[in-house]
Amino acid sequence: MVSTTAIALLVIGLVVGGAIGYSATALVPSTSTTGIKTITIGSIEPLSGGYAAYGLSFQQAVQLAVSQMNANLSAAGNNLRFNVVTADDMGTPAGAESALTTMYSAYGIHALIGPLTSAEVQGLLQTADTDHIVVLPPAATATSLEYPKSTTNYLIRPGQPGDQYEGSALAQTVIQTGAKNVVFLYRDDTSEYGTYNYSSALMTAAGLTVDGIQFQPAQTDYGAQVATAESDAQTFLSSGGTTANTVVVCACSATTEDQNIFTHASGDQYLSELRWYGIEAIATPVLLTSSTGAWMSKVNFTITSPASFASPQLTYFNSTFYQTYKAVPQPYSNYAYDNAWIAMLAILMTGGNNNGADILSTVTLAADHYFGATGTGVWLDNNNEQTFAIYDILECVPTTGGSTTIQIGTYNGATNTVTLTS
């Protein structure tokens, strides 16, 4: 049974800091404070490699949530505090598993925020299940990570909706905007491979012709894959296709890899005449304001991106993140922030027990009653993953210094429909 103290703390925690000050560096309470009990949670993200910009921002979002929770607990006169330890998994499954093993051994964590990609999450799941560590990844969306609630596993995904929604949103957008021939570049990892399979099957069923081009992560150059895309595009155009109905789709998500691909493509006559489509990671300021930002608007880059609705919680997150780190959070950092709050609230609901089985017993209840900075609320389905799947359909348009995005439509996961408004 949840104690009345835990329930009171839950209510306090849901009021995210409002008028209470905090310091992002004060994650461990002063040793001069008597009777303080500290529980450590973990944050594993790629802090080097192609996802480093996202990894750092996600890590900072977790640190921000912990600091704000501690400020609330202190103001309430409670003696519980949270600490967060962080590690770089270098964007690899092996790195994620190694980081978690070390983190558990050194700090005894039983709640983890991250990692970022589905492949990294897959890499550490066996360790998490063995050591009873609840894993809450903000952006790991692969359908291959679905595990029924009826089984005992420690993966809970209240973050971004699964790839089945993204794949459907992407395919419907391509179909509705008149494509007939599709050159499909996709990263060979757990998530993007799944997105390709799901969306290309829908496109093919609708009568489109799809040529898939797989590329391996972490290459130094992607000129060969772009040359293949050019060859496929020329084949379509010489076989009756037009620049209006021949398109390129890019299921790529690592910023440095994307930049390399776009640099090669921007110098190609044929690929620069076609409309491009992509997934949410492409809608990052790092790319939009880069040397290929103007080219992204030239090819009308159209992107499916999980919606973050305007709300006081999102405004508070954005403003306090900037105030603390003097930087704008990378897209979807609010998912990491919310997952950290959910983890801490679940621990409070146990009465402050740092025990994986106890946290697992309360975390779905905490998630299902949480409304945070993502602005869509959380409700977990029978696979313990987010069910509120609403995507913005974005298009790149020119601006000073590159491109920005405007919304041209919406995908509603409840009805599985894309509605284009522009």
For 201, the token pair is 């099957």
| Same domain membership, residue 168 and residue 128 | no
| Same domain membership, residue 408 and residue 261 | yes
| Same domain membership, residue 395 and residue 247 | yes
| Same domain membership, residue 179 and residue 263 | yes
Q: What is the C-alpha to C-alpha distance for residues 125 and 311, in angstroms, rounded to an integer? A: 33
Beta bridge partners of 112: 42, 135
| pLDDT, position 5 | 41
**Residue 224, in any domain of the structure:** yes
Helix residue ranges, H only, 354-407: 356-368
**Residue 331, in any domain of the structure:** yes
| Same domain membership, residue 55 and residue 175 | no
Host domain of residue 345: 4-160+309-368
**Residue 337, in any domain of the structure:** yes
Give tens-digit pLDDT for 229-280.
Answer: 999 999 999 999 999 999 999 998 778 899 999 999 999 999 999 999 999 8
Structural domains in the chain (count)? 2
**Residue 373, in any domain of the structure:** no
| Same domain membership, residue 200 and residue 113 | no
Record the pTM.
0.83
| pLDDT, position 419 | 98
**Residue 374, in any domain of the structure:** no
- Residues 161/389, Cβ–Cβ less than 8 Å: yes
| pLDDT, position 34 | 63
- Residues 118/159, Cβ–Cβ less than 8 Å: no
| pLDDT, position 227 | 97
- Amino acid, single-letter form, for residue 371: F
Q: Residue 275 belongs to a domain with what CATH number?
A: 3.40.50.2300
Q: What is the C-alpha to C-alpha distance for residues 101 and 124, in angstroms, rounded to an integer? A: 9
Q: Look at residue 172 and give its three-state secondary structure.
A: helix
For 343, the token pair is 């983890």
Give residues with Cβ within 8 angstroms of 346, minimum separation 6. Answer: 111, 134, 359, 362, 363, 365, 366, 367
| pLDDT, position 194 | 85
| Same domain membership, residue 222 and residue 88 | no
Q: Are strands 134-136 and 181-187 parallel, antiparallel or unpaired?
A: unpaired
For 80, the token pair is 């519980």
| pLDDT, position 96 | 97
| Same domain membership, residue 175 and residue 71 | no
**Residue 338, in any domain of the structure:** yes
Q: What is the C-alpha to C-alpha distance for residues 257 and 251, in angstroms, rounded to an integer? A: 11
| pLDDT, position 281 | 86
**Residue 313, in any domain of the structure:** yes
| pLDDT, position 256 | 87
**Residue 376, in any domain of the structure:** no
Over the range 24-41, which residues count as b (16 or more CB within 10 Å of their CB) and which as e? beebebeeeeeebeebbb
| Same domain membership, residue 245 and residue 350 | no
| Same domain membership, residue 117 and residue 58 | yes
| Same domain membership, residue 144 and residue 225 | no
| Same domain membership, residue 88 and residue 65 | yes
Per-residue pLDDT tens listing for the chain (422 residues): 334 344 334 433 343 433 332 223 333 333 335 689 999 999 999 999 888 999 999 999 999 999 999 999 999 999 999 999 999 999 999 999 999 999 999 999 999 999 999 999 999 999 999 999 999 999 998 888 988 887 889 999 999 888 899 999 999 999 999 999 999 999 988 878 889 999 999 999 999 999 999 999 889 999 999 999 999 999 999 999 999 999 999 998 778 899 999 999 999 999 999 999 999 889 988 899 999 999 999 999 999 999 888 899 999 999 999 999 999 999 889 999 999 999 999 999 999 999 999 999 999 999 999 999 998 889 999 999 999 999 999 999 999 989 999 999 999 999 999 999 97
Q: What is the C-alpha to C-alpha distance for residues 129 and 281, in angstroms, rounded to an integer? A: 29
User: For residue 40, which phi and psi values (nearest 5 degrees)?
Assistant: -100, 130
